[in-house]
Amino acid sequence: MKDQKAIIKDHFSYLFEESLLDEIALVGVHRNVGADEVLIEIGSYVKFMPLLLSGAIKIFRQEKENEQLLYFLEKGDTCAMTLNCCIGQTKSEIKAVAEMDSEMILVPIKKMEDWLSYKSWRSFVFESYNSRMLEMLEAIDSLAFNNLDQRLIKYLKDKATINKNLTIETSHREIAYEMNTSRVVISRVLKKLEKEEKIDLKRNKIILLKF
């Protein structure tokens, strides 16, 4: 298991102090997931919180029959919704799906509380909670203004960031599903963005230009 400790150290020594790294190595479970693997279903009880080492996870919220993409998780992030569920001991209100092949350490949620005595852990939790909160507020703004353009641009930016590539390989249908709207609208807005020379459109491909 000293392998695991080394891995954790490599990824998180910039975040956590030595003793906390030890604790994480002690109780953390290393896990690899494939792209599109479902990690958390709505209604299930969350027993672990993920600390991402590599890859990315997308978080959906379910409303009625639909699923709405809330945000992406990357290395160094943790899931604010997980924090919620843990503290309240409630069922998950979100669904988590691997955006790509990913690697993570799973930590039992009980530890979340225990570790609050670590300054670095408190900062980490508050920091990620804070950034999620801000992101959510932004999301609400654009929803309230019914501004699909903004949402789509943000979606594309996020997608490019997590893939570290300005070329996004996905279909309009896929985007429409994740943003909970129709393909016609996505096609139309993408076309508009193309005319504004912000993106380049190919079959199954979107190339970001001015970002």
Write out the residues near DNA by the rule CB under 7 A: 146, 148, 171-173, 180-185, 187-188, 190-191, 201, 203-205
Residue listed under structure tokens 């953390």: 28
User: 81 or 179, CB closer to DNA?
Assistant: 179
Cβ 198 to DNA, closest distance in Å? 14
Q: What is the DSSP string of 75-96?
A: TT---HHHHHHHHHT-B--EEE
Which one-letter DSSP state was computed for residue 97? Answer: E
CB 123 within 8 A of CB 14: no
Q: Is 20 helix (H, G, I), strand (E, B) or coil?
A: helix
Cβ 41 to DNA, closest distance in Å? 24
Cβ 151 to DNA, closest distance in Å? 10
Cβ 56 to DNA, closest distance in Å? 21
Instruction: Measure the CA–CA gap between 77 and 59, rounded to whole angstroms.
Output: 12
